[in-house]
Amino acid sequence: MLKRIVYGVSGAVIVGLGLFSFYAWNSSIDPIAPPVNADYPPQVIEQGKILAAAGYCSTCHTTPGGEAYAGNYEMHTEFGTIYSSNITPDVETGIGGWSEAAFNRAMRTGVSRDGHHLLPAFPFEHFNKMSDDDISAIYAYIMTSIPAVNQVKKENGIPFPLNIRWLQAGWKLLFADTQSFEINENKSDQWNRGAYLAEGVAHCGACHTPRNALGGEKYDQMYQGAAIDGWIAPSLTSTSTSPIPWRAQDFYEYLTTGNSPYHGSAAGPMAPVMHKGLSALPKSDVEAISYYFADHSDAKESDDPAANSNLQTAIAAQHIQTDLRIDEGARLYATACQACHYSSDELVKGRPLLTLGSATHLDQPTNLVNVILDGVRNDQGISGVVMPGFRDALSDQDISAIAAYLRQAAGKSAWPELQQKVSEIRNQPRFEQ
């Protein structure tokens, strides 16, 4: 009897697995003979170039200093190391033999030309929100304008059983958002344009939306902040811990200049997003994105930060005299930081007020510690403006003392196990781009 149940159950499992693998199976799309006929009008190719920039294809598909789009950019995820694919038009190792249909299927469903499933580190769920015309333009641009590079993709370092490609079908079934972009009739054209870009090609949620244990985006917590590549992508909604709410004009200033005086600078993974990505878009598109996010953050354009008591408190906090003989953090801050982050009663662009900035107000010290360790390069934050890194000059203890001091000056509760965290952040793989 027991045996029979066991047979019955395992029979069901086998049938289930069989059905699932049938579901998980995708056909191979026949290769085409290159070169792709360059019949695309120049405007389409130009549009593709802009969209490829706005989708940061090169950020993920190019190793630092390596050849454009040739892949093997290393991504460290909690599931292991993932290497991006070669998407140059090389026939042997890239996508030179891909038809537009194969490219469209990969961008929409995360299935490679030969039918194997791709990992969601490739943000296909977002690219699926793009129109066919926009995906086609990117294809036209890559196939006609990117030099073919022969470079084999490295094996991903994902352990068994997560490395079984067809299991990705289960992941997609459970977590992937397969809806195409829908216009929200209750919102303006500008809002919808912003939503189309943010949810689609610019995939802001891939970093700013928290993920579940298996890496699926939690759509009910869209844009509420998440850890990514050793940084925190802060909440962009009304749950933001920023003392000054983000208005459309603040988003716009941050996304076009790399800094908002009320919030801070775009360093780490956010730097290429704005410098290499959004900077390619027409200003009206960045305005639309800003307008869309202002709706999520609930701030009104008419809200005057100058009238916000949090601003006055943060400015006043700089003037509080700490006994430098006993507060090590205050003393280190005065010697290492204050020459640039000087006390002033006005906000000065390019001199972030640290008692006000997001880095000090987040629930995690991660971004503050990253910036103290590695600074802000001239191609990050405000263009041409640099903050030096202190990786070699300050110990974990020094950095945690400064961070604790700033946190206290900002009137926030202490970060727990700070020195331990500083040490972990120092030793994590550094974000390079």
Residues 230-269 that bind ligand HEC (CB under 6 A): 231, 233-234, 236, 240, 242, 251, 254, 258-259, 263-269
Strands 80-83 and 226-228: unpaired
According to the binding rule CB under 6 A, does residue 339 interact with ligand HEC? yes
Residues 294-333 that bind ligand HEC (CB under 6 A): none
Q: Which of 112, 136, 151, 355 binds ligand HEC (CB under 6 A)?
A: 112
Sorted by sequence, the CB contacts under 8 Å of residue 29 that are 6+ apart come out as 98, 99, 101, 102, 105, 113, 115
CB closer to ligand HEC out of 36 and 138: 138
According to the binding rule CB under 6 A, does residue 286 interact with ligand HEC? no
State the binding string over 2-41 for ligand HEC (x if CB under 6 A, else -): ----------------------------------------
CB closer to ligand HEC out of 165 and 313: 165
CB closer to ligand HEC out of 91 and 313: 91
Quickly tell me which residue has 């470079």 as its tokens: 151
According to the binding rule CB under 6 A, does residue 288 interact with ligand HEC? no
Residues 393-412 that bind ligand HEC (CB under 6 A): 402
According to the binding rule CB under 6 A, does residue 422 interact with ligand HEC? no
CB closer to ligand HEC out of 40 and 390: 390
| Structure token digits, residue 422 | 């500083």
Q: How many CB atoms lie within 10 A of CB 376?
A: 24
Window contacting ligand HEC (CB under 6 A); options: 183-191, 210-218, 312-320, 346-354: 346-354
According to the binding rule CB under 6 A, does residue 57 interact with ligand HEC? yes
User: Which of left, alpha, beta for 150 (phi over 0: left; psi -120 to 50: alpha)?
Assistant: beta
Geometric angle at alpha carbon 428, from 273 and 237, rounded to 5°: 40
Residues 61-90 that bind ligand HEC (CB under 6 A): 61, 75, 82, 84-85, 87
According to the binding rule CB under 6 A, does residue 144 interact with ligand HEC? no
Q: Which of 8, 18, 41, 388 binds ligand HEC (CB under 6 A)?
A: 388
According to the binding rule CB under 6 A, does residue 195 interact with ligand HEC? no
**Packing angle, helices 418-427 and 366-374, rounded to 10:** 50
Q: Which of 172, 203, 247, 407 binds ligand HEC (CB under 6 A)?
A: 203
Q: Which of 122, 196, 262, 405 binds ligand HEC (CB under 6 A)?
A: 122
According to the binding rule CB under 6 A, does residue 198 interact with ligand HEC? yes
